[in-house]
Amino acid sequence: MTAFPLQIVTPDGLIFDGMAEEIVVRTTTGDMGVMAGHINCVAPLGMGRATMIIDGQKKYGACIGGILSVLDGTVRLVPTTFEWADAIDAERAQRAAERAKAALAEKNISQEELRLAEARLKRALVRMNVADQGNIR
């Protein structure tokens, strides 16, 4: 399989800079896959699992927000946050999900608090899913 340059850059710095054979990420309109030779494009990222094939091995990450750019064969993933599956603390993510569910169960919750709790729950569920996926080898 032909490889292409892939960079993953967050506000905290460079996460990955190397060659990949494939990447699949969650955009705001659904999953999008990129392989070598993909047309130039920019896509807004949603919250979800990023699956990459690097050196013939699948690697997973939790990718939250940002953009995906493909320009002249180079793919840049610029998420708001990104965590490799093996770096995710699944117990911490579980506790975050429980806190978010408790907030959602409150009767007198404002629309803003509701929106934040829903986002926190979704982020925690993505992290838990990716942590579980990363443990499957």
pLDDT, one tens digit per residue, over 47-79 is: 999 999 999 999 999 999 999 999 999 999 999
For residues 55 and 17, membership in a common domain is answered with yes
Confidence (pTM)? 0.86
**Domain boundary, last residue among 67, 85, 103:** 85
For residues 61 and 122, membership in a common domain is answered with no
The two three-digit tokens of residue 11, written as one number: 């506000």
Helix (H) or strand (E) holding 48: strand 47-54
Q: Which residues contact 75 (CB under 8 A, 6 or more apart)?
A: 4, 5, 6, 7, 20, 23, 34, 38, 68, 69
CA distance 31 to 103: 29
For residues 111 and 128, membership in a common domain is answered with yes
Here the CATH number for the domain that contains residue 100 is 1.20.5
For residues 75 and 97, membership in a common domain is answered with no
For residues 96 and 53, membership in a common domain is answered with no
Kindly list the distances between the CA atom of residue 120 and the CA atoms of 45, 78, 85, 110, 131, in Å, as whole numbers in the listed order: 16, 20, 18, 15, 16
Helix (H, G, I), strand (E, B) or coil at 66: coil
pLDDT, one tens digit per residue, over 2-41 is: 999 999 999 999 999 999 999 999 999 999 999 999 999 9
Domain residues for the domain of 114 are: 88-134
**How many beta carbons lie within 10 A of that of residue 31, not counting itself?**
13
pLDDT at 1 over 80: no
